[in-house]
Amino acid sequence: MHLRITTWNINSVRLRPAALAKVVRQLEPDVLCLQETKVADEAFPRSMVEDLGFEHLHIHGQKAYHGVAILSRRPLEGCHTHRWCAIDDSRHAVCTLQGGIELHNVYVPAGGDEPDIEKNPKFRHKLAMLDEMSDWFAASRDDTRRIVLVGDLNIAPLENDVWSHKQLLKVVSHTPVEVAKLERLRQSHGFVDAVRAIVPPEEKLYTWWSYRARDWRAADRGRRLDHVWLSPALAPALRDATVMREARGFDLPSDHVPVTVDLDV
């Protein structure tokens, strides 16, 4: 069975119906995982996404902030959520897809501007969530589990995941402490970075460009903040991975672009 999964930080699902429709039309994902939906569950535009062909929904949102959603053309089972750091942010939704594939849709905190846990509670929260997730996956590790972890992890781990490794070493999203925490999470279940399994680490690759740039294309100061990871049992099913760079140039775009993987499961 072929399975196409797309992850996208949409930066408000209600603000970008045209962009959402265009992404769905061009990519035709079986499952679309959204982050930063920024809407309470009761106000989520269910009819709009159902009209796009997604009959099965798992929504975990809150008013104005955060929020994740799993939209699927195929049945979803065992849907639930995780709460991290004793904070009721809507950051982690889980469902089981056909064939027993466990899908985790995650939105890691951005972490604010100052990479100092004493001065910046947002940065402390980011690192704490990564630690808790690492401990949880490590404690429940089973290499027979078929897991896909997707989402805006808000960290660009590799040198070629940012426009300038040297200049961003002290910038939140690429600091050594964040990169180490993300690597610990990846290793906690032996996850494979699906996109970099297809696109060599020697190539520059970004999924986010700041709104502050007057011309994002010309500046091209991007970061790869959005990821798809596969557990060891599922990694052999990977066939392709792509980044929809052109979505950053849509009318009223998100600052993130969709990332897609193709699996033969």
Round the average pLDDT of the chain to a whole number and report it: 98
In the structure, what pLDDT confidence band is assigned to residue 201 with cuts at 50, 70 and 90?
Answer: very high
Q: Read off the pLDDT of residues 24-73 as tens digits, 9 standing for 90 and up.
A: 999 999 999 999 999 999 999 999 999 999 999 999 999 999 999 999 99
Contact yes or no for 19/247 (Cβ under 8 A): yes
Q: Read off the pLDDT of residues 122-153 as tens digits, 9 standing for 90 and up.
A: 999 999 999 999 999 999 999 999 999 999 99
Query: Looking at residue 111, what is its pLDDT?
Result: 98
Query: Looking at residue 205, what is its pLDDT?
Result: 98
Domain count, the chain: 1
Q: Mean pLDDT, to the nearest integer, of 69-83? A: 98
> Distance between CA atoms of 177 and 163, rounded to whole angstroms?
19
Query: Looking at residue 263, what is its pLDDT?
Result: 98
Closest Cα to residue 163, out of 116, 210, 114?
210
Specify the pTM.
0.98
Query: Looking at residue 11, what is its pLDDT?
Result: 98
Token digits of residue 66? 């955060």
Percent of the chain scoring above 90 in pLDDT = 99
Contacts of 185 (CB under 8 A, 6+ apart): 130, 133, 134, 137, 191
Query: Looking at residue 149, what is its pLDDT?
Result: 98
Structural domain containing residue 155: 2-264
Burial of 15-46, coded b for 16+ CB within 10 Å and e otherwise, reads ebeebbebbbeebebbbbbbbbbbbebeebee
Q: What is the CATH number of the domain that holds 253?
A: 3.60.10.10
Q: Mean pLDDT, to the nearest integer, of 248-262? A: 98
Closest Cα to residue 230, out of 111, 123, 147?
147
Query: Looking at residue 237, what is its pLDDT?
Result: 98
In the structure, what pLDDT confidence band is assigned to residue 259 with cuts at 50, 70 and 90?
Answer: very high
The answer to whether the Cα torsion of 261, 59, 125, 172 is positive or negative is: positive
Percent of the chain scoring above 70 in pLDDT = 100
